[in-house]
Structure 1
């Protein structure tokens, strides 16, 4: 028996574990909160990216996540991550989250999304990755689907970067501030992307709960763009602002800023921005009518139109689906 061995370079990774009571954000909630699911996705995608590149990797983008249903505490969770396409230093990774009552063993999909990682050298410069060449028809279809999202992603990012956010607003808003702790960092010494996304969801959840007076859950997340790493000891400021309400949904823009607290809170650079959508629910998890927010200032009215524009862009580009409906459920057979 050998004391050590090296695995082959694999294009996919599967993580399996039990959802714990500590994965639920608040007492009485019907399932794991969206931020924790995003953290699971990011960890699985990170393992996939590192396994393919054989180097340290950083999250660059997460997009187009529909949370189809809650994942109850006690469910067996399976997160599947696989390479769809590689650029020079980037890896586009398709992720699917399934869960099942372990007593039944029937897994159904909870959500899926695309995550982009960039491989880095030891001095944190982009590093060339091995080219992934799809072989089967399904692999080629998934690669084409990933590429169909490139222009949409660019258009969304350009639209989000056009916006400015000042105090000229009466919109519901909530800001969390804290220091990044050693327990928040990944193996490269920076805060894990999944941890940062959990912070984002927590701030946006609190903002929408404060406005609606009800429990709220994330149903969509998109345009999550990472600009710079967050390090141990950084002052982190997560600002969530509601920009639009529909009959049931609440659209929220979140900015995560972070930097050395000695430089002052006013100078914190943006590390991540994101767009989330929430719905309020009753005690049984059924969606409720949204309390309506009526924009009053010029900035609020402009940002409401920004939310409309983001929706129009997703409708205009219509990216091809990453996963096929036939894989929505399966039963454990081993």
Structure 2
């Protein structure tokens, strides 16, 4: 297909592949056995952004990231591929499926480390949503992936509604961590807003600090979901990232994270929510083997309500049973969630 942007005819591609080396600077802390989850989320956002902009011919913003299982670590020094492709388009939205694979450069046998769905929205010069070219699946595989993306629509709405019902006050006793800092010019993208991937890296860092402080162990993200973007973050904004643990299972720790941002002259009490997410972590030993979690016992009514919230989110994912977006490549060892 062809379309016209700024008077020039172009033939947009529905897919993009980024390839690069995982660097030592992609590892969050000394002794970690792989790239941290936040950096992987940043890579996914960049690949999906390139795909969205290439398809729409417009500036695009991240609206939603969901259902990411981190099945294995990506070692520093591996060749990484981020494969992003259009699955479905709405009026101004693009549902983009992404998979992250890596390989030892001496062998170049790529295996999947995680996959997810990202939704981008195209914007015009006035920062209003603008129509995008329609994507028409042509092959059986493209039709299958489109159906898988659509099977997640109701689940996404149900998760968002459940997350918006919750409130977080000082009466909660769950372990928490708050990071505060200013958004810098180096954090922003080509449209002048903070990269969605950078914001996701921030939430992973706060949640990692929270779970490490509670467990006394190195922790890694094994799941991220319900990542909803509500407003952009700008240069000079005061950013507050609050992570709170709400439930522990045998090995896993469920964490909710809220990123708030706004004018620092207005103080920290009224910063609007820019992003929220639910994430799951496990503690690991020096060899990367999962450890049992230190139990968190709910004390207050708020603690018990938020613990049930974590259970409800898990039940919603089981109830809706979204179709898999990717066919298995090979069996890979996975971090246990329970």
For Structure 1 versus Structure 2, the TM-score category normalised by the shorter chain is over 0.9
* Counterpart pick for 2:262 among 256, 259, 262: 259
Residue 165 of structure 1 aligns with which residue? Answer: 168
Residue 285 of structure 2 aligns with which residue? Answer: 282
Contact 1:109 1:328 in 2 (8 A): no
Within-5 A mapping of 1:61-210: 61-210=64-213
* Counterpart pick for 1:56 among 59, 63, 68: 59
- Residues in 1 aligned to 2:57 and 2:23: alpha-carbon distance in whole angstroms: 31
Provide the TM-score with structure 1 as the length reference. Answer: 0.96
- Report the secondary structure of 1:265's partner residue: coil
Superposed displacement of residue 326, structure 1: 3.9
Residue 18 of structure 1 aligns with which residue? Answer: 21
- Residues in 2 aligned to 1:59 and 1:185: alpha-carbon distance in whole angstroms: 13
Number of aligned residue pairs: give it: 325
Residue 250 of structure 1 aligns with which residue? Answer: 253
Residue 215 of structure 2 aligns with which residue? Answer: 212
- Residues in 2 aligned to 1:147 and 1:169: alpha-carbon distance in whole angstroms: 36
Contact 1:85 1:143 in 2 (8 A): yes
Q: Is 1:45 equivalent to 2:48 in the alignment?
A: yes
Check 1:32–1:6 CA distance in 2 against 1; reply closer, same or farther (3 A cut).
farther
Gaps of 5+ in 2: 1-7, 333-338
Superposed displacement of residue 118, structure 1: 0.2
Q: Is 1:273 equivalent to 2:248 in the alignment?
A: no
Superposed displacement of residue 8, structure 1: 2.6
- Residues in 2 aligned to 1:236 and 1:14: alpha-carbon distance in whole angstroms: 31
Contact 2:111 2:329 in 1 (8 A): no
Within-5 A mapping of 1:300-315: 300-315=303-318
Q: Per-residue displacement from partner, 1:49-72 (whole Å, max 9, x unpaired)?
A: 000000000000000000010000
- Residues in 2 aligned to 1:122 and 1:73: alpha-carbon distance in whole angstroms: 39
Check 1:328–1:52 CA distance in 2 against 1; reply closer, same or farther (3 A cut).
farther
Q: Per-residue displacement from partner, 1:97-149 (whole Å, max 9, x unpaired)?
A: 00000011110000000000000001100001010000000000000000000
- Report the secondary structure of 1:267's partner residue: coil
Residue 35 of structure 1 aligns with which residue? Answer: 38
Runs (4+) of structure 1 exceeding 2 A deviation are 5-8, 326-329
* Counterpart pick for 1:235 among 234, 238, 246: 238
Provide the TM-score with structure 2 as the length reference. Answer: 0.95
